[in-house]
Amino acid sequence: MNRQYSRTDDLVRQFDAVLRTLVPRAAQASRPSPATPEVRDEDMGDAERRHAEGLMRINHTGEVCAQALYQGQGLTAKLPEIRHQMEEAAQEEIDHLAWCEDRITELGGHTSRLNPLFYAASFGLGALAGAVGDRVSLGFVAATEEQVGRHLDAHMDALPPGDHRSRAVLRQMAIDEAHHAEQALAAGGVRFPAPVKAGMTLASRVMTRSVYKL
């Protein structure tokens, strides 16, 4: 028998999700990191390590935004199966969140201080998309994940040649994000037109430029 959650239960779960997303070291991955002990970096200079750290900080903040989007969409989704799909995708994003944070720590860096701001903005967008309708919400997921996939591909190319551990993490993330996009479209998500995607790209550039060092 499935438990019926009350409004209070939902609020507690949402608050727990916020803490797991924003509090350092609170996110716990359900899968081992692709950066296994067998994956070893080559020697990198200080500038290369700082560059790798900045790129991984961008990816970590991207996962913070993804968590917020899924949580906002799950809160306002109309159909139970859509809410369930959002929850499953959010769990994989928690893995990404933890993997990126671990890698940033290995590189001697810190996660972005702007994460709470981007979380709040993304949660609002997700809730709005879910309120408009499930097909729009799913389409937003697909468009977002496609955009994230392009960022990940670009970052894999931009990482220092010797940074094999970060590259291993991003490679698995790219596989997961492509799967999320396919699932969203298969579930009935609408394909967003090019002008909307262009606007999303411009918004993402604000995030990437601001969190590279902050």
Give binding residues for Fe cation as ranges: 63, 93, 96, 145, 177, 180
CB 55 within 8 A of CB 36: no
Residue 121: exposure state from Cβ atoms within 10 A (0-12, 13-18, ≥19): middle
Positions at the binding site: 63, 93, 96, 145, 177, 180
Distances from the Cα of 211 to the Cα of 28, 118, 133, angstroms: 23, 10, 31
**Using only C-alpha atoms, what is the Rg of the chain?**
17
Nearest to 102 by CA among 41, 36, 200: 36
CA distances from 132 to 35, 129, 139, 145 (A): 39, 5, 11, 19
The residue type at 32: P
Q: Return the sign of the alpha-carbon dihedral for residues 123, 199, 189, 128.
A: positive
